[in-house]
């Protein structure tokens, strides 16, 4: 279903991105660090586990050797559904219904199979974004490699393969910019809100908080040194945006002043010419 095209103007000169991977740069001083805004970080990738030959799920083809999950999610499972609406996973054509649309989080597909292949991930953004879907590719990994591969196989270790990337929104429309810069809605509210159990756990956590904020945020507590740094970066980004607008405005002003000067000079020339005609 096509999104309604909303004719919001794009914010000129602004580029905003969703990083995939490491959420924040190493803690540099936010006013020195030239690192752009990083807000709701996400990762995409897959995990794969060899099936236990003595305990295979029923109803799966005999040649299937692994169970795997391919996913797009926030770091530490933070909510990303405030900007990511749905994800289409395109599997290898050997799978029935190889195109799988996941309309709400968790954005993931779990299957069993025997072979590795490239999964196509098509990311659809919230309608406010007025953005086309973006496509990523993830090579599904089932088998370990490297010096420890044999031992890993022996232990039937889960193979994790995660990708890091940034999604860049060039000159976003204002409503989407607001959504991105406001971050996820607080737990218990909004689209990505989890059940009340989690909200209760979060409330309990807040009850026994100390004066110090933790270094890392957790599922239950979004406040941390890192989120504080993110907030500072966000402010820095806002300052940069305003500074950009100010520069644009002063360029316009300068141009107008030049024109005014030229007009004034022209008027003086005309007056002079008029006087010369009268006296001549």
The HSE-up count of residue 75 (CA atoms within 13 Å, CB side) is 20
Query: With respect to ligand SLL, which residue has the nearer C-beta, 92 or 194?
Result: 92
Query: With respect to ligand SLL, which residue has the nearer C-beta, 68 or 169?
Result: 68
CB 143 within 8 A of CB 116: yes
- Bridge partner list, 201: none
The dihedral over CA atoms of 149, 151, 156, 160, expressed in degrees to the nearest 10, equals -40
For position 99 contacting ligand SLL by CB under 6 A, the verdict is no
Closest contact distance (angstroms) between CB of 59 and ligand SLL is 12
For position 190 contacting ligand SLL by CB under 6 A, the verdict is no
Closest contact distance (angstroms) between CB of 92 and ligand SLL is 4
Q: What residues contact 76, with CB distance under 8 A and at least 6 apart? A: 216, 217, 218, 219
- Tokens 């039937």 map to which residue? 156
Query: With respect to ligand SLL, which residue has the nearer C-beta, 3 or 95?
Result: 95
Query: With respect to ligand SLL, which residue has the nearer C-beta, 158 or 224?
Result: 158
For position 61 contacting ligand SLL by CB under 6 A, the verdict is yes
Helix runs in 60-184, H state only: 149-155, 174-182
User: Shortest Cβ contact with ligand SLL: which residue?
Assistant: 113
Handedness of CA 193, 198, 200, 205 (dihedral sign): negative
Query: With respect to ligand SLL, which residue has the nearer C-beta, 111 or 131?
Result: 111
Q: Which of residues 115-134 bind ligand SLL (CB under 6 A)?
A: 115-117
How many residues make contact with ligand SLL (CB under 6 A)? 9
For position 19 contacting ligand SLL by CB under 6 A, the verdict is no
For position 145 contacting ligand SLL by CB under 6 A, the verdict is no
Binding ligand SLL by CB under 6 A: which of 3, 17, 95, 223?
A: 95
Tell me what percent of the chain is helix, strand and coil, each rounded to the nearest 5.
Answer: 30, 25, 45
For position 113 contacting ligand SLL by CB under 6 A, the verdict is yes
Closest contact distance (angstroms) between CB of 56 and ligand SLL is 15
Consecutive H or E run containing 203: helix 196-207
For position 92 contacting ligand SLL by CB under 6 A, the verdict is yes
For position 2 contacting ligand SLL by CB under 6 A, the verdict is no
Could you give the CA distance from residue 40 to residue 26 in angstroms, rounded to a whole number? 16
Give the closest residue to 230 by CA, choosing from 195, 183, 277. Answer: 183
Question: Can you give the binding site for ligand SLL, defined by CB under 6 A?
Answer: 61, 92, 94-95, 113-117
């Amino acid at each position: 279903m096509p999104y309604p095209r909303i004719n919001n103007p794009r914010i000129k000169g602004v580029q905003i991105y969703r990083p995939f991977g490491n959420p924040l740069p190493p803690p540099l001083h936010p006013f020195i660090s030239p690192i752009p805004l990083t807000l709701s970080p996400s990762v995409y990738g897959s995990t794969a586990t060899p099936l236990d030959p003595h305990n295979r799920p029923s109803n799966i083809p005999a040649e299937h050797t692994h169970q795997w999950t391919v996913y797009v999610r926030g770091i530490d499972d933070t909510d990303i559904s405030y900007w990511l609406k749905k994800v289409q996973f395109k599997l290898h054509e050997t799978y029935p219904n190889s195109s799988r649309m996941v309309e709400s989080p968790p954005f993931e597909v779990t299957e069993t199979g025997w072979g590795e292949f490239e999964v196509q991930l098509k990311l659809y953004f919230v309608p406010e974004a007025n953005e086309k879907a973006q496509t990523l590719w993830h090579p599904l990994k089932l088998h370990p490699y490297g010096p420890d591969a044999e031992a890993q196989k022996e232990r039937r270790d889960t193979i994790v393969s995660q990708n890091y990337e940034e999604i860049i929104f060039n000159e976003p429309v204002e409503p989407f910019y607001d959504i991105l810069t406001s971050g996820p809605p607080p737990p218990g509210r909004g689209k990505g809100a989890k059940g009340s159990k989690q909200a209760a756990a979060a409330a309990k956590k807040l009850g026994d908080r100390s004066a110090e904020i933790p270094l890392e945020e957790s599922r239950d507590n979004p406040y941390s040194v890192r989120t504080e740094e993110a907030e500072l970066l966000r402010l820095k980004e806002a300052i940069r945006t305003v500074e950009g607008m100010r520069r644009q405005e002063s360029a316009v002003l300068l141009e107008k002043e030049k024109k005014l000067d030229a007009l004034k000079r022209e008027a003086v020339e005309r007056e002079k010419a008029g006087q010369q005609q009268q006296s001549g």
